[in-house]
């Protein structure tokens, strides 16, 4: 059976605040803009997007589990959970879908604790420091990975 032409977009804690504070770090685009950018990029490849943002780890994990049956890949900005969450990592590796990890800011040029990601070594795609445009880059690269899988 061919893979579903749908991606799950996951935005973690506090990303609902995009566009309201800290524009010098995160820019002025809102979460709605991020979801549109991701949907537009996916649409150019004939994919649709299911978007979830939550400040609750369990909600994110349930959404990741649900993607197992009807999504071909996951674009995720785990927010601060990037640096803390083994359970989020386990959920992502458990569903065995290709993952694109996105960070709006350049996490390698900020505080030391932001340099470690629990997701990085299970993600096939990494996009860091491109602002919200990085979500479109992540979609393009993730769909390359998905296309490569279905060739094999
Ligand atoms: O750069 C990113 O995308 C981050 O994933 C954003 C997280 C941060 O903990 C990561 O280290 C890097 C923080 C998300 C909070 O976003 C806000 C946006 C506007 C105002 C306040 C918070």
CA distance 102 to 54: 16
CA distances from 58 to 47, 90, 106, 130, 133 (A): 26, 12, 27, 28, 27
Average pLDDT (128-150) is 97
Residue 152 pLDDT: 59
Between the CA of 106 and the centroid of ligand 1 the distance, in Å, is 10
User: If pLDDT is split at 50, 70 and 90, which confidence band does 16 have?
Assistant: very high
What's the mean pLDDT when you consider all of the chain?
96
Ligand 1 atom nearest to CA at 110: 11
Residue 133 pLDDT: 98
The catalytic residues are 26, 103
Ligand 1 atom nearest to CA at 78: 5
Average pLDDT (118-124) is 98
Between the CA of 135 and the centroid of ligand 1 the distance, in Å, is 14
- Substitution site in 104, 106, 120 for ligand 1 pocket (most atoms within 8 Å of beta carbon): 104
Structural domains of the chain ordered from first start: 6-151 (3.40.50.9100)
């Amino acid at each position: 059976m061919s893979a579903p032409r749908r991606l799950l977009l996951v935005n973690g804690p506090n990303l609902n605040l995009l566009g309201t504070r800290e524009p010098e770090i995160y820019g002025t685009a809102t979460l709605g803009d991020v979801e549109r950018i991701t949907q537009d990029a996916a649409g150019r490849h004939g994919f649709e997007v299911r978007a979830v943002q939550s400040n609750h780890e369990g909600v994110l994990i349930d959404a990741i589990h649900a993607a197992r049956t009807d999504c071909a890949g996951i674009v995720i900005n785990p927010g601060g959970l990037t640096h803390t969450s083994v359970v989020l990592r386990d959920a992502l590796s458990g569903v065995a879908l290709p993952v694109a990890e996105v960070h709006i800011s350049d996490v390698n040029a900020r505080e030391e604790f932001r340099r470690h990601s629990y997701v990085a070594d299970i993600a096939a795609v990494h996009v860091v420091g491109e602002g919200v445009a990085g979500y479109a880059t992540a979609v393009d690269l993730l769909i390359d990975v998905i296309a490569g899988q279905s060739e094999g």
